[in-house]
Amino acid sequence: MDEGRFELYDIYKASWLTLHGVSIDLDKRGSRVVFLIPNSEEVSKLLRRYSEDPQISLLGYVQALRRTRARMLDARQGDAGRDDDGQGVGHGRN
């Protein structure tokens, strides 16, 4: 791993960072997926703010969590079974 990033194993923190516009890379290691986070002052401030239990839009956070989880599952299992919008095939469609 390069000096400009650090590893994060917490999907909830990764989703929080995603909600705030931080670009996160994923790295598959065996059956696990590691979130690679930019090592910056902005990220440090966001992680401190996360620890302070801030008030946020619940819907926005849940959507970020769902997108992060979908990306994690795609990285773990490959793209099979997912359509273009990242949802499971047939999910929410009639």
Q: Name the residue ranges covered by the structural domains of the chain.
A: 5-77
pLDDT tens digits along 51-67: 998 999 999 999 999 99
Burial group, residue 11, by CB count within 10 angstroms (0-12, 13-18, 19+): middle
Structure tokens at 14: 């990764």
Please state, in angstroms and rounded to a whole number, the distance separating the CA atoms of residues 94 and 83: 15
pLDDT digit string (tens) for the chain, length 94 residues: 456 999 999 999 999 999 999 999 999 988 899 999 999 999 999 999 999 989 999 999 999 999 999 999 999 887 433 444 444 433 333 3
